[in-house]
Structure formats: C-alpha cells, structure tokens
Amino acid sequence: MAAPRTSIDRPRQLARSRFWPRVFGAVSVSWLTLAPVAAAALWLLMSDPVTAAAVMERGDLLPVMAAL
C-alpha cells in the first residue's frame, strides 16, 4: 500500500533543456570566427579590387595574405 502524500512532498521538476544554450554558443563561435574574415574581404574589395578579382578568379588566397 502506498504511503499518503504529505504536504512537504513536491512534484518532480523537469530537467532543463540544453538545446538553446548550445545553439547560442555555436552561433556565437561561428560569428566570432566569420566576422574578421568578412571584414578583411570587404576591406580588400574596397582597397584593391584587382586583387579581390584575382582571388575570385583563381581561388588562390596567397594574394590576400600578401595584401594583409
């Protein structure tokens, strides 16, 4: 036979989901990684469009490293 429920018993709490904090962390790390790359690409496009076109045509990143 089950014991009677007393007034000090509390209902069991559900475990907190870790999905959204992990998604937010992944997005933050991605943003911190891609923001400098986008800034460098934009700077190169505005300051030396010929080098940016050469990079797009050949797919070689060596001119970008030389420009930076």
Q: Is the pLDDT of residue 32 over 80?
A: yes
Residue 43, number of CB atoms within 10 A of its CB: 13
Return the minimum-mean-pLDDT range out of 3-12, 26-35, 53-62.
Answer: 3-12
Where exactly are the structural domains of the chain?
42-68
Q: Which residue has the higher pLDDT, 21 or 40?
A: 21
Amino acid identity at 39: A
Percent of the chain's residues with pLDDT above 90: 24
Give the integer Cα–Cα distance in Å for 55 and 45.
Answer: 10
Angle between helices 19-47 and 49-58 (to 10 degrees): 120
Residue 55, number of CB atoms within 10 A of its CB: 19
